[in-house]
Amino acid sequence: MPPAPSSWTWKASILVSDPRNDGIAGEWFRPGSSAAITAQLAVRDEYGLIVDENGHELARDWLTDLNVSARIGSVARRITFRDNSVFETTDNDGVDAMLARAGSKTGSWVHRAEAFHPRLIVFMAVGVLLVVAIYKWALPALVELAVAVTPPVVPQIMSVATLKSLDRAMFHESKLADEAKKRLSDGFADLVEHSPPGTANYTLNFRGGGLLGPNALALPDGTLVITDELVDMASGDTELLLGVLGHEIGHVEHEHSLRQLYRAAGVAGLIMIIGGDVGSGMEDILVEGGGLLSLSFSRNAEAEADRHSVELMARAGYDPVAIARFFELIEKKLGDKGRTSMLSTHPGTPERRQAVLDHAGSLATAKDKPGADQVR
Ligand SMILES: [Zn+2]
């Protein structure tokens, strides 16, 4: 037979569950007074009341009329009565439990306690606005400044490191026939000749793409790589490939890699300001040379590079819209599903093909009109 519970245990359990003993310990201040009076806050039916150590009632209000301050860390909660007397307690859990209990009786009170934090809302709104403003205005300006003051040796070092790690991890030696290499190199020389001199020192490199598959890429110092797979895909259409190289030259001349890198660094800085920590992925991008590859360009950068290809190809005497054939080709051969790296780093091909044709069209019209050069 189990031992009968002693009367003491029985009484204690009644005491704990008795709603009359749910008081929260704290201090009470008369209206306008700074003298603390040790007291308890208790809930009776739909009232909140303050009782002193001797059980005397000091204040009483409908729960719906009490104003409870928000929970902020371990800061003491202030519960203000209508007569402006204030009860202060550090028992945050007790207050929350009481709010939850009272919620079943007076939902509005809980709602008010949770929703009414004017100072906190203003504080957070200012913080959010500040971050948005930095992102929208300060960051682009800082990126431009950083690009402008970056000495040429920085993109050179980044490019050498990136090509080295790509050669180690991904690329194979090119198996292209010398004839195909020569055709492309000659065309590439034409393009570079028509690029503003001194902006970059261009080299064209041939590689087996490995995991990268059919692709072309430009490193920020003007080192370009074209993969055998891309050359094969073009099935002899050299101008198409030159159009792609013109696009890559556009990335170099507009310094998209550097911009993207500085932008990522700036965003990482912002995240650090807000959250106090930068993910390890971001660290890889900033620290590792190979991280350059994991940054895809913005749609604006891609469109700018596409227009560059159109203009450069025209200047060099090639078909300005050859790159449109490239878009057509990957739409047809690969399906624009973003499955290959080429597509994930060069998204939205149907729209871009149309934009290329439009741009070439507007250039042709501008050329026909006398004096149009001044307008453009
Ligand atoms: Zn691109």
- DSSP annotation string for 144-197: HHHHHH--THHHHHHHHHHHHHHHHHT-EE----HHHHHHHHHHHHHHHHTSPT
pLDDT at 234: 93
Rounded Cα distance, 297 and 220, in Å: 13
Spacing, Cα 255 to ligand 1 middle (Å): 12
Contact 227, 216 (CB under 8 A): yes
Pairwise pLDDT comparison (119 vs 83), residue with the higher score? 83
Contact 203, 329 (CB under 8 A): no
Spacing, Cα 37 to ligand 1 middle (Å): 71
Task: Give bridge partners of residue 48 from the DSSP assignment.
Answer: 43, 61
Residue 142 lies in a domain: no
Q: Indicate if the pLDDT at residue 285 is higher than 60.
A: no
Looking at residues 196-219, what average pLDDT do you find?
85
Residues 6+ apart with CB under 8 A from 298: 260
Spacing, Cα 214 to ligand 1 middle (Å): 13
Rounded Cα distance, 368 and 190, in Å: 25
Q: Are residues 107 and 202 in the same domain?
A: no
Q: Are residues 109 and 159 in the same domain?
A: no
Range of the domain at 79: 7-116
Spacing, Cα 305 to ligand 1 middle (Å): 6
Burial class (CB in 10 A: 0-12, 13-18, 19+), 280: exposed
Q: Are residues 165 and 67 in the same domain?
A: no
Contact 290, 165 (CB under 8 A): yes
Residue 193: both structure tokens together: 């000749």
Query: 255 — alpha (psi -120 to 50), left (phi > 0) or beta?
Result: left
Domain-terminating residue out of 63, 96, 116 = 116
Domain-terminating residue out of 71, 100, 116 = 116
How many CB atoms neighbour CB 143 within 10 A? 20
Q: Are residues 69 and 217 in the same domain?
A: no
H/E element holding 330? helix 322-334
Spacing, Cα 303 to ligand 1 middle (Å): 8
Q: Are residues 107 and 160 in the same domain?
A: no
Spacing, Cα 215 to ligand 1 middle (Å): 10
Rounded Cα distance, 74 and 33, in Å: 24
Contact 213, 228 (CB under 8 A): no
Looking at residues 346-356, what average pLDDT do you find?
79
Q: Are residues 156 and 81 in the same domain?
A: no
Residue range 73-106, pLDDT digits in tens: 777 888 999 999 999 998 888 888 877 776 644 4
pLDDT at 130: 84
Spacing, Cα 248 to ligand 1 middle (Å): 6
| Residues 128/131/133/135 CA torsion (nearest 10 deg) | -140
pLDDT at 44: 80
Q: Indicate if the pLDDT at residue 108 is higher than 90.
A: no
Rounded Cα distance, 254 and 300, in Å: 11
Find which of 143-157, 224-238, 260-274, 351-365 is predicted with most confidence, using mean pLDDT: 224-238
Residue 270 lies in a domain: yes
Task: Provide the number of structural domains found in the chain.
Answer: 2
What do you get for the CA distance between the two ends of the chain, in Å? 101
Q: Are residues 157 and 96 in the same domain?
A: no
Least confident of 81-90, 106-115, 154-163, 328-337: 106-115
Model confidence band, residue 182 (pLDDT cutoffs 50, 70, 90): very high
Spacing, Cα 251 to ligand 1 middle (Å): 7
Residues 6+ apart with CB under 8 A from 233: 214, 329, 330, 333
Q: Indicate if the pLDDT at residue 127 is higher than 90.
A: no
Q: Are residues 112 and 156 in the same domain?
A: no
What mean pLDDT value characterizes the chain? Answer: 79
Spacing, Cα 196 to ligand 1 middle (Å): 19
Strand order in the sheet with 67-68: 57-62, 47-52, 37-44, 24-29, 86-89, 77-80, 67-68
Spacing, Cα 375 to ligand 1 middle (Å): 28
Spacing, Cα 345 to ligand 1 middle (Å): 7
Spacing, Cα 1 to ligand 1 middle (Å): 83
pLDDT at 288: 47
Spacing, Cα 265 to ligand 1 middle (Å): 20
Q: Which residue has the tokens 């037979």?
A: 1
Q: Are residues 224 and 356 in the same domain?
A: yes
Spacing, Cα 136 to ligand 1 middle (Å): 23
H/E element holding 89? strand 86-89
